[in-house]
Each structure stands twice: as C-alpha cells, then as structure tokens.
Amino acid sequence: MSINVKQLAAEKAVEYVKDGMRVGLGTGSTAYWAIRKLGERVSEGLQITAVATSQASEDQARELGIPLVAFSDVDSLDLTIDGADELDGALQLIKGGGGALLREKIVAMGSARMIVVADESKAVTTLGKFPLPVEIVPFAWEWTVAALAKLGCKTELRRSGEDLYKTDNGNYIADCRFEAIESAAELALALQRIPGVVEHGLFIGIADLAIIGKKDGTIEIIEGGQDR
C-alpha cells in the first residue's frame, strides 16, 4: 500500500496544536488531512477554537465538531496550518491553487506561527513553475490581466467549467505563469502596484516551519525566520 504523504505531513503538523490554542485552518487536499486529524483530537477532548480560510474548510470543520469562530471575533491566532503549491528553501511560498489565497494570507498573517504542510513534489529551488494565482476584482479585469502580463508572465483567467471562477470573496483569479521567479520580493512589490489586484499568492516571510512528507515515509522539516 502506498503512503499518503499529504496525510503524513499534515498529521505531524497537528502535533504542534495544544490545548487552548486558536488555530487557523488552511485549504486544500493537504490541509484537509490536518483538519481531519484535528477533528479526531477534538473528539478525544482537545480544546481549541478555529478560524477557517474557506467555505470548504469551514464545512469540513463543522462536520467534525471543531469549534469555529469568525476571525473578527479573535484578536489573533496561535497557529495556522496550511498547504502550498510550491515552497523554496527560504520558506517562500506560492499559494492559491485552491483559490483561497486572500483569506489564507489574512489568517496566516494574523497567526503567531504558520506551519506549511506539503508533499515533496511541492519543494522547489526556484518558485514559478506553478502559475502564480493573483486575486483580482471583476471590474475592468481585462485591463488588470493585461497589466499582469506586462510583468513577463502568461496569464490566464481561471475558469470553473463554462463560467469564470469566483473566489469566496466574489473576485476572479488570474493564474500567471512565470516559469522562474528570480526575486519573489520584487515581484510582490510590482504586483501590489497594479490597481485591481486584491492579493497575490506569494507568501514571503510568513511561514515559520515547513513539514514535508516523502514517499519513503520520512518527514523533512525546514525552519525559517518569518518577519511579520
């Protein structure tokens, strides 16, 4: 039987959750396993409150009996566990493959610690093979997409079947294929200067720890210095 490497990484991360913590719940197929394990621990008596980063994670947590609060009801969170589409050795991330990057960034930035959980295929030397998701407002989206393309990427507006994909916040996602991002920090600044961009999927200086599950059943832990 093959090992579920996402589950391996996610369950390791849940070991960092202690009684009384306020926990941010990430989004995606790796975060799913973390939420599942948290639900198991809650049913065994773990006392936590949680904030979800998407409707999907909220629904899953509710079903498992994890006590949920709105982010506006807490000053800050102790720990967020979330997945990533790519991560490098400096713990810079690309996120947003699941379309939840805006809420994910708010929740991660509002947490004392962020743990990234991933399988080894997500670990890269240079970010950029995975198209960078950028959340944009629907108004004048054609203009915003053209402005993004001027940064040197191939840009595609995300679709959901026949329709344009809409985030939980009612915005669109432009997926920007750079192939290689030489300076994530410079690109982040350039993206922030484009009106119409709500948020981008570059997470720089936010993650504290990455837990990477490997096919051979081992786990690699990368520690980083965040500068939130």
Ligand X SMILES: O=C(CO)[C@H](O)[C@H](O)COP(=O)(O)O
State the amino acid at position 151 in one-letter form: L
| Known catalytic membership, residue 104 | yes
Bridge-based pairing of strands 172-177 and 163-164 is unpaired
Question: Is residue 217 part of an annotated ligand binding site?
Answer: no
Could you give the count of Cα atoms lying within 13 Å of 219 in the half-sphere of its Cβ?
16
What's the closest the beta carbon of residue 207 comes to ligand X, in angstroms? 11
What's the closest the beta carbon of residue 117 comes to ligand X, in angstroms? 8
Q: What share of the chain is helix, strand, coil (3-state, %, to 5)?
A: 30, 30, 45
Among 17, 25, 84, 181, indicate the residue that binds ligand X (CB under 6 A).
Answer: 84
Q: Is the Cβ–Cβ distance between 55 and 167 less than 8 Å? A: no
With binding defined as CB under 6 A, does residue 52 bind ligand X?
A: no
Cβ-based nearer residue to ligand X, 122 or 150: 122
What's the closest the beta carbon of residue 45 comes to ligand X, in angstroms? 28
With binding defined as CB under 6 A, does residue 199 bind ligand X?
A: no
Cβ-based nearer residue to ligand X, 48 or 100: 100
With binding defined as CB under 6 A, does residue 167 bind ligand X?
A: no
Cβ-based nearer residue to ligand X, 57 or 226: 57
d(CA 100, CA 7): 20
**DSSP code, position 65:** T
Identify the sign of the CA torsion 40, 208, 28, 143: positive
Among 4, 29, 76, 183, indicate the residue that binds ligand X (CB under 6 A).
Answer: 29
Question: Is residue 225 part of an annotated ligand binding site?
Answer: no
What's the closest the beta carbon of residue 72 comes to ligand X, in angstroms? 21
d(CA 78, CA 76): 7
Nearest to 34 by CA among 77, 2, 4: 4
Residues 94 to 113 in contact with ligand X, rule: CB under 6 A: 95-101, 104
Cβ-based nearer residue to ligand X, 78 or 104: 104
Q: Is the Cβ–Cβ distance between 166 and 99 less than 8 Å? A: no
Question: Is residue 84 part of an annotated ligand binding site?
Answer: yes
Contacting residues toward ligand X, per CB under 6 A: 26-31, 82-85, 95-101, 104
